[in-house]
């Protein structure tokens, strides 16, 4: 996780925004916690800051291969057919 917000430590919203925007990279999955105190206040700044840097957003569900793949107990996606193996790696 290269863009961990560390929001569970309850830093000020401005610190969360700075940490996430400064550490986000292409392909980052940003970690937030649903019970963190200042995350709701920080989210608009995070979204605006990342958009200003040219980032876009999509749900994790769009990152998961669906056709010809299964997921093992570790969350790793396994190709079910030899023809699809080259397209996912």
Tell me how many helices (H) and strands (E) the chain has.
Answer: 3, 4
pTM: 0.71
29: helix, coil or strand? coil
Cα three-residue angle 49-54-58, rounded to 5 degrees? 90
Least confident of 28-32, 60-64, 83-87: 83-87
- Report the length, in residues, of the chain: 89
Total Cβ atoms within 10 A of residue 27: 8
Residues 65 and 26: their CA atoms lie apart, in Å, by 19
DSSP code, position 40: H
Average pLDDT score, the chain: 88
* Residue 7 reports pLDDT greater than 80: yes
């Amino acid at each position: 996780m290269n863009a961990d917000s560390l929001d569970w430590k309850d830093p000020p919203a401005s610190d969360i925004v700075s940490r996430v925007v400064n550490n986000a990279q292409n392909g980052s999955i940003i970690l937030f916690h649903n019970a963190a105190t200042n995350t709701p206040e920080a989210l608009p700044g995070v979204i605006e800051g990342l958009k200003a840097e040219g980032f876009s957003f999509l749900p994790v569900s769009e990152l998961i291969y669906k056709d010809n793949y299964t997921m093992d107990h570790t969350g790793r996606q396994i190709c079910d057919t030899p023809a699809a193996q080259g397209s996912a790696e």
